Amino acid sequence: MSLPAPSADALAASHALQHRIAADIARHGGAIPFASFMEQALYAPDLGYYSGGAAKLGKDGDFTTAPEMSPLFGAALAQVAAAIMAQSAPHILEFGAGTGKLARDVLTELAAQGVTVERYAIVELSGELRARQQEALRDFPQVTWLDGIPERFDGVILGNEVLDAMPVHLVTKTDEGWQELHVTVAQGRFAYQPAPLPPVLAAQLVSQVPEADQLPPGYVTELHGTACGFMGSVGALLARGKGAAILLDYGFPGHEFYHPDRSTGTLMCHYRHHAHDDPFYLPGLQDITAHVDFTAMALAAQDAGADVIAYMSQATFLLGAGIGELLLRTDPADAMRYLPQANAVHKLLSPAEMGELFKVLVVGKDVELPAALAASDRAHRL
């Protein structure tokens, strides 16, 4: 791979994390599940990608998210949030708030509409991102930071590109049946090593992967136990209260996720705006993600007591939320201001960009979406 060289300090941090993971592998008899490797690569204290100090988002980071592209993304979400809060409570809870731009755009739009948000709580695991959020949101006194999920919540929960960064188990189909892929150290490098499938993963495979027995030998895919657990917690939280969670991410329903042609899985890494598929490259310095199985996410929330309210593409959701009308607040005749915003909206909506690959799942209790969005529900495709 031809990727940008890291700084000396960044390389030293990655080497320290590699030594830490290698020591953990040694303590566990020579191999650990890939999910354990991914968790440490992303979240090991001080050294993991999200727990370390490197910039993650924007032109100086590794990737760009929808809120970074246009404030109209947050303004459109605010329209839906206002409708849900009117039926529940004036509270918002955001998981993984990035640079804080989505929160700022949502709060700015709601304030312009005269909609009061009594509390905007953020759960953020990255110390570097939390610091950026605190700076970006210093003018919004209702914003607070939490270290975990509260016991009860009424209002709107937001999660933009949160599920894809949760550790996944890798499994592969062999001539002898399904096995889990572990990570070992071979000739001084991390490498995959097949291992027997533990009962808990075998049960998850049966429930999550349609027609798993029909998939060909050599097939590799992901099981999303951590994300399912998170969705179960969100579902239980909403079942005890009143409101809805809006989750936006890239992925597929189960029957598309585990298609026979998707034989190498969906694991992807992001480093300095370069995408590649080697999770062992510079651990701690790159993001590691997997596409989301939205069927599994919906079922996990439903099993915990929440209702599946809607599922649709990001393009359909944003159009139903009124992003087109929001764009027209800027006079098209004012090309200097209008064209950059129109280009950003095009990327958010285009099937060739984010419009179709990114999906929106809404789960909740005792609330309804605005009619324009409810009419676009495609939850039957899950």
Gyration radius (Cα) of the chain, Å: 21
Question: Is 177 within a domain?
Answer: yes
Q: 51: domain range?
A: 7-382
Decide if 370 contacts 320 (C-beta within 8 A): yes
Per the structure, the count of domains in the chain is: 1
Q: List, in sequence order, every residue forming a beta bridge with 75; answer none if it has no partner.
A: none
3-state secondary structure of 274: strand
DSSP 3-state helix, strand, coil percentages of the chain (rounded to 5)?
40, 25, 35
Measured CA to CA, the distance from residue 7 to residue 344 in angstroms comes to 31
C-alpha torsion angle, residues 60, 64, 68, 72 (rounded to 10): 160
Determine the pLDDT at residue 62.
Answer: 53
Measured CA to CA, the distance from residue 360 to residue 318 in angstroms comes to 10
CA nearest 151: which of 234, 243, 244? 234
Question: Is 96 within a domain?
Answer: yes
> CA end-to-end span of the chain, whole Å?
36
Question: Is 362 within a domain?
Answer: yes
Question: Is 1 within a domain?
Answer: no
Amino acid 76 reads: A
Question: Is 242 within a domain?
Answer: yes
CA nearest 177: which of 214, 209, 142, 134? 214
Determine the pLDDT at residue 57.
Answer: 44
pTM of the model: 0.94
Measured CA to CA, the distance from residue 129 to residue 95 in angstroms comes to 12
pLDDT tens, position by position, for the chain (382 residues)?
677 788 899 899 999 999 999 999 999 999 999 999 999 999 999 899 988 765 544 444 556 789 999 999 999 999 999 999 999 999 999 999 989 999 999 999 999 999 999 999 999 988 888 999 999 999 999 999 999 999 889 999 999 999 999 999 999 999 999 999 999 999 999 999 999 999 999 999 999 998 899 999 999 999 999 999 999 999 999 999 999 999 999 999 999 999 999 999 999 999 887 889 999 999 999 999 999 999 999 999 999 999 999 999 999 999 999 999 999 999 999 999 999 999 999 999 999 999 999 999 999 999 999 999 999 999 999 9
Question: Is 2 within a domain?
Answer: no
CATH code: domain of residue 133: 3.40.50.12710
Amino acid 206 reads: V
Question: Is 299 within a domain?
Answer: yes
Measured CA to CA, the distance from residue 135 to residue 53 in angstroms comes to 15
For 114, left (φ over 0), alpha (ψ -120 to 50), or beta? left
Determine the pLDDT at residue 292.
Answer: 98
Decide if 285 contacts 44 (C-beta within 8 A): no
